[in-house]
Structure 1
Amino acid sequence: MKRFYLLLIYGCFVLPVMAQSPLTEEKESKWRHFQKNEFKFKGYNAWIIAPKKALPGKPWVWKAYFPDWHVQPDSILLERGFHVAYINTNDLYGHAKALNIWDEFYQYLISKEGFAPKVALEGISRGGLYVYGWAKRHPDRVSCIYAEAPVCDFKSWPGGKGTGKGSAADWKKLLEVYGFTEEQALQYDDQPKDNLDRLASFKVPILHVIGLNDGIVPIAENTLLLVHNYILKGGPATIIPMTLGKQTLAGHHFPIEQPAKIADFIYENSVPHLSYVNTKP
């Protein structure tokens, strides 16, 4: 009997520990004039940037990679009341290992932070592997996708099996992450450009901005293939070429023209949040 009571007492102390927050090492800083909360989520570096005044329903943007690159649209959306979130699952090339972490981070942001159940995804360059991988898993959770010179087929980059330069070092890492031989990687048929049926059936709008002469992530092997496949499945898609200003890194880096238009695309597809739409006649 005494042993039974001891177990009960022990359980009372253990349960609160099990229910503790998955966040550690939290610290606050400033991002421009917004509040940024940096933390580790289950061991992964992550952060949330909060607007001065959040919109009803807390619409948000989720950045997949290179979170400090071309942030003009994010700044505009923060001014308008969006949150911006990021978790660092770098060097996993959109593999399920990364997407599983994304699933847990999403659940935390929805349940604990009260974020909108639909999110606008942003994928820059190799970030395309992440946003399309996750969007195809959960098309019902995505309000729209904004992609900038995105990788839509890893055979193109980092594989370099087409007209692009590729990256031998990243290709080797990718094969290790996926557990593929090169032959298996070349036969892999669930790239971002593939199997878009469910995403298209949810009519998730996508917007790609591209450099016409991208020698790192060639558009003919990436954006043009994905958008072609998506439109054939009935998905709404827009491509905007960036043609002004100096392009660098073999045309893969370019200035963003009219970032307010990108912000408008995300805003118009995210606000008002469905939960706040008055459906009464």
Structure 2
Amino acid sequence: MFQKFLDAGIAVAGIDVGESFGSPEGRATYTAFYEELVRGRGLSPRPCLLARSRGGLMLYNWAVEHPESVACIAGIYPVCDLRSYPGVERASTAYGLTPDGLAEALARHNPVDRVEPLAKAGVPVFHLHGDADAVVPLESNSGELARRYRRFGGEMTLLVVEGGGHTMWPGWFRSRELVEFVIAHAGGGRS
């Protein structure tokens, strides 16, 4: 996948924000990373985001706060609901809140509850998700995000992989559809 992106003129970059689970502190680190790539290195101000597994929490939470700065989002079994993974109790520490405090604040921090700005901005979304994923269940994550995204008028493609689990199966990373989606929305590279 990455080689196909590079061959199409699309830079690939990432940052380790630790186990921040999409928290405001992690989002601030991601914003600094974005600023470095755009202002410091001249990359596109509208990157394509690739959200895989728990990276979905960070990328969606950042994207909903910066919809004008996102060309598209592609996901491979991304976490979209803190309640399903890692769970409110485990995530609360990263948010500097008690479990009850995070539960009360979910509307401000839970990607599946925050997608309206992305949909209204017309950010296209594409997910691959297996129907046998026991770690990040399809229905409460990509399935629910798709329902809500479409309700707000957003364009989302969800390809369900029959029998697919939360694995390192090479097919996740060789998806022609996902690669073509990203390349089509990258704006000619430098994304």
State the alpha-carbon separation in 1 of the partners of residues 64 and 179 from structure 2.
Answer: 23
* 1:98 to partner: Cα distance: 1.0
State the alpha-carbon separation in 2 of the partners of residues 264 and 239 from structure 1.
Answer: 14
State the alpha-carbon separation in 1 of the partners of residues 171 and 144 from structure 2.
Answer: 22
* 1:179 to partner: Cα distance: 2.1
State the alpha-carbon separation in 1 of the partners of residues 45 and 84 from structure 2.
Answer: 33
Question: 5 Å matches for 1:35-114?
Answer: 73-114=1-42
Cα deviation 1:55-104 (Å, max 9, x = unaligned): xxxxxxxxxxxxxxxxxx22211112111011110211111111111111
Q: Secondary structure at the match of 1:145?
A: strand
State the alpha-carbon separation in 1 of the partners of residues 26 and 135 from structure 2.
Answer: 23
State the alpha-carbon separation in 2 of the partners of residues 129 and 138 from structure 1.
Answer: 14
* Equivalences, count: 185
Q: Secondary structure at the match of 2:19?
A: coil
2:166 to 252, 261, 276: 252
Cα deviation 1:24-74 (Å, max 9, x = unaligned): xxxxxxxxxxxxxxxxxxxxxxxxxxxxxxxxxxxxxxxxxxxxxxxxx22
* 1:195 to partner: Cα distance: 2.5
2:57 is aligned to 129
Which structure has greater helix proportion? Answer: 2
State the alpha-carbon separation in 2 of the partners of residues 197 and 211 from structure 1.
Answer: 25
Identity of aligned residues (%): 30
State the alpha-carbon separation in 2 of the partners of residues 144 and 271 from structure 1.
Answer: 10
Give the number of the structure whose alpha-carbon radius of gyration is greater: 1
Q: Secondary structure at the match of 1:256?
A: helix
Runs of 4+ in 1 over 3 A off after TM superposition: none
State the alpha-carbon separation in 2 of the partners of residues 84 and 255 from structure 1.
Answer: 19
2:95 is aligned to 178
Which structure has greater strand proportion? Answer: 1
Unaligned runs of 5+ in 1: 1-72, 162-170, 274-281
* 1:220 to partner: Cα distance: 1.4
* 1:131 to partner: Cα distance: 0.9
* 1:109 to partner: Cα distance: 1.1
* 1:185 to partner: Cα distance: 2.6
* 1:115 to partner: Cα distance: 0.4
Q: Name the amino acid aligned to 1:81.
A: G
1:243 is aligned to 162
Q: Secondary structure at the match of 2:153?
A: coil
TM-score after normalising by structure 2: 0.90
2:143 to 224, 227, 234: 224
Q: Secondary structure at the match of 2:50?
A: strand
Cα deviation 1:176-198 (Å, max 9, x = unaligned): 12122222233322311112221
Q: Secondary structure at the match of 1:186?
A: helix
TM-score after normalising by structure 1: 0.62
Task: Tell whether 2:68 aligns with 1:151.
Answer: no
Does 1 or 2 have the higher relative contact order (CA < 8 Å, sep 6+)?
A: 2
State the alpha-carbon separation in 2 of the partners of residues 105 and 154 from structure 1.
Answer: 23
Q: Give the aligned CA root-mean-square deviation in angstroms.
A: 1.7
Residues 242 and 255 in structure 1, CA contact (< 8 A), matched pair in contact too: no
